[in-house]
Structure 1
Amino acid sequence: MPEWIINQQRDLGKRIGDLRAAAGYTQESFADAAGISRSHVQRIERGDTDARYSDLLRIAAVLDRDVSILTTDGPRPRPRARER
């Protein structure tokens, strides 16, 4: 796989991890809310796997964000207080 694709996967995973953490989710609670396995969330956040579009839609829905926020560079999210 070309290096630029690997880098994009890692950037996507970092963005998802940052958004998840800012929303107050653990990987476990996030995976449960999104209906995907915790190990899959881990692989996505590390950039070790290609996230399917359906995964991205589920992730965006849990975060209450448009899916485009996951693939767009921009300012990192500010942490929000959230009780779990």
Structure 2
Amino acid sequence: MSSTQLRKPSPALRQILARNVVRLRCAKGLSQEAFADVCGLHRTYVGSVERGERNVTLSTLEVLANALKVSVIDLLTKSTEGSRRSR
């Protein structure tokens, strides 16, 4: 891989994360802005995560998971509906 190429997660993985964040945020009754405040992130950043546009860092995954009271694994698993693990 050349130094000019960036590694990116698959679009499918970004969409799984996006869907899970939206679903879990809405289940908590939080707007994007309120959720962003809880996370300490900007609302436009949260919006881009929810649209699957961002390659988020591990530390951001932890922030999102902590704010939603789920594990990082839950955010990256295709269907977390019935298997959410509260912390």
Structure 1 ranges of 4+ moved more than 4 A? none
CA distance in 2, matches of 1:45, 1:75: 16
1:32 maps to what in 2?
37
Q: Which runs of 5+ in 1 are unaligned?
A: 78-84
Deviation at 1:6, TM superposition (A): 1.1
Q: Structure 2 unaligned runs (5+)? A: 1-5, 83-87
RMSD: 1.8
**CA-CA distance at 1:19 after TM superposition:** 0.6
More helix by share: 1
Determine what percentage of the aligned residue pairs are the same residue: 31
CA distance in 1, matches of 2:80, 2:70: 15
What's the counterpart of residue 23 of structure 1?
A: 28
TM-score where L is the length of structure 2: 0.77
* Aligned residue number for residue 68 of structure 2: 63
Tell me how many residue pairs correspond in the alignment: 75
Q: Deviations over 1:32-63 (max 9, x none)?
A: 00011101100000001111111110111111
- Distance in 1 between residues matched to 2:41 and 2:80, nearest whole Å: 27
Calculate the TM-score normalised by the size of structure 1: 0.79
Could you tell me whether the CA contact under 8 Å between 1:18 and 1:76 is conserved in 2?
Answer: no
Contact between 2:14 and 2:52, CA under 8 Å: does it hold in 1? yes
Question: Over alpha carbons, which structure has the higher Rg?
Answer: 2
Of the two structures, which has the highest relative contact order with CA contacts closer than 8 Å and spacing of 6 or more?
1
1:60 and 1:66 in contact (8 A); partners too = yes
